[in-house]
Amino acid sequence: MILKPRLEDLKIIGFYLGKIILGLAFTMVIPILAGLCFGELNPTLDFLISIEISVFLGFFLLKVCNTEKDLNWMQGMIVVSLSWVVAMFLGAIPLYLSGHWKSFLDACFDAMSGFATTGLALVQDLDHLSYTHNLWRHLIMFLGGQGIVVIALSFFVRGFSGALKMYVGEARDEKILPNVVHTSRFIWLVSFVYLVLGTIALGITGISNGMKPLNSFFHGACIFMAAFDTGGFSPQSQNILYYHSVVYEIITIIIMVLGAINFKLHYHLWTGNRKEIFRNIETNTLFITVIATFSIVAVGLAQIGSYPAAVTLFRKGFYQLISGHTGTGFQTIYAQQFIADWNHLALAGVILAMALGGAICSTTGAIKMLRIGVIFKTFKEDLKRIIMPERALVIEKFHHIKEVFLEDRLVKSALVITLAYIILYGLGALVGMFYGHPFLNALFESTSAAANVGLSCGVTNVAMPAALKVTYIIQMWAGRLEFMSVFTILGFLIAVIKGK
């Protein structure tokens, strides 16, 4: 028998949702300060209105749903799931008020794309967008990459047992430190240190490339946030092509790879355990899959002769590939060139890379390296079982921070999530094809949305049907939260309707 949720459940969910909304509202202070510094009055007002609406909503929920009770697993998952939806609506308000998005749905699309660190965009006339709004576009990637709940846990929640439930609900299944609040703060520490270093590196490169100092450091900060959080937005419509610089491309590749690495691995590197990077199953799998998928892309590009010189082929092919594999979505070619200049084999290589993703407990989306590694180890174990005598005891293990035995529980979990992602990629492709796009184009864009990548072959544009926009929004949301929170909210809705 399905039990109908009680009023108490709704109150607890509403109370913690209110806390997270207030946390989100607080982050809007940053663009307001930036707007005042840059002397951009109307954009500052956009954020003032948005922060007021957010504070009002957060305050309302806290007062109406006031409770002392802690979250249980179901409530924690639902809070996380709803937080991302509410964040999308609230984050879209200043975007829509700017007048650079044709509809509120388009603004919601870009807000979800930002929070989920995807990078697909429907913004119009980006090259004339204010610094204030541009900062917000990149800031929501930085916030979403670390996790909206992680922000609340780090700065606004004093520590309660429900914290772990929300942390796990946000697709972070690994604790770096024993306490999740400390773990969240460590994630922020890593991100801030890299933010400073990355902004300086990109800023200096920008100046040496001929950009004005203010623009250069502003772009540096924005590009860092988009690269480290494997987002893919950029302050200019040409994306990374705007800079015409190989040094800029190399720096962004380094930042993208850093963003695709597990925060737990960052912790071990920071504490001096550098050998871990060579032994870890995730880094080894990433290395192998990058080589494998790049080989596919390179053969495809060589077949069609898109880039006659080997250096050019490597520069263009590898950049799009690593951008897709890390889930970033930076491009050094125009979206239409994927279709006009790349053949099916090269596109298949990029789609495969996008579908695989980076490390778990990183800022990337998609299936992720640990699961791919576990699945390969399972195949290896099964092969050994076939080859070796029946009485032989086959034990497979792998190294992920420590030696881990390959248990059925791990394999099942990896296979279920992998299957869920494959279904999500496929469903989005079906909707794309329903609206008349060829199979490969539809699959490319669907995988990009569901794996939170952001590479586009041109399907995503302001003229696409509203249903396709909504499909991609759902894919970005489900892909970022890795299904568990989404399944929980679906179950909750069924319980509301059918429960007794």
Partner 1 sequence: MKIRYKLAIIVLLFALVNFHTPLAFSEGLSSSELIINAKDYDGKLVTYVGEVIGDVMLRGEFAWVNISDGDNALGVWVSSSLTKEINFTGSYKLRGDNLEIAGVFHRACPEHGGDLDIHAQTLRKISSGRIVNQRLNLDKKNLSLILFGALFLIWILSLFRRR
Q: What minimum distance in Å lies between the beta carbon of 99 and partner 1?
A: 10
In whole angstroms, give the CA distance from residue 163 to residue 157.
8
Q: What minimum distance in Å lies between the beta carbon of 481 and partner 1?
A: 31
In terms of CB distance, is 318 or 487 closer to partner 1?
A: 318
Site for partner 1 in 231-290 (CB under 8 A): 236-238, 241-244, 246
| Residue among 483, 454, 480, 245 nearest 350 (CA) | 454
Binder among 332, 441, 447, 488 for partner 1 (CB under 8 A): 332
Cα angle vertex 402, ends 397, 403, to 5°? 20
Q: What minimum distance in Å lies between the beta carbon of 241 and partner 1?
A: 7
Q: What minimum distance in Å lies between the beta carbon of 243 and partner 1?
A: 8
Size of the site for partner 1 (CB under 8 A): 50
Burial readout 55-76 (b: 16 or more C-beta within 10 A, e: otherwise)? bebbeebbeebeeeeebeebbb
Site for partner 1 in 173-232 (CB under 8 A): 209-212, 215
Q: What minimum distance in Å lies between the beta carbon of 19 and partner 1?
A: 16
Cα angle vertex 167, ends 164, 169, to 5°? 110
Binder among 272, 308, 389, 436 for partner 1 (CB under 8 A): 308
Residue 307 makes contact with partner 1 by CB under 8 A? yes
Residue 336 makes contact with partner 1 by CB under 8 A? yes
> Cβ(123)–Cβ(132) under 8 Å?
no
Which range, of 222-230, 306-314, 368-376, 406-414, touches partner 1 by CB under 8 A? 306-314
At 28, is the secondary structure helix, strand, or coil?
coil
Residue 462 makes contact with partner 1 by CB under 8 A? no
| Residue among 210, 212, 348, 372 nearest 282 (CA) | 372
Cα angle vertex 271, ends 268, 277, to 5°? 35
Q: Is 421 left (phi over 0), alpha (psi -120 to 50) or beta?
A: alpha
Residue 59 makes contact with partner 1 by CB under 8 A? yes
In whole angstroms, give the CA distance from residue 320 to residue 130.
28
In whole angstroms, give the CA distance from residue 482 to residue 174.
14
Binder among 340, 423, 467, 494 for partner 1 (CB under 8 A): 340
Residue 341 makes contact with partner 1 by CB under 8 A? yes
Contacts with partner 1, residue ranges (CB under 8 A): 40-43, 45-46, 48-49, 52-53, 55-56, 59, 63, 97, 125, 127-131, 209-212, 215, 236-238, 241-244, 246, 306-309, 311-313, 315-316, 332-334, 336-337, 340-341
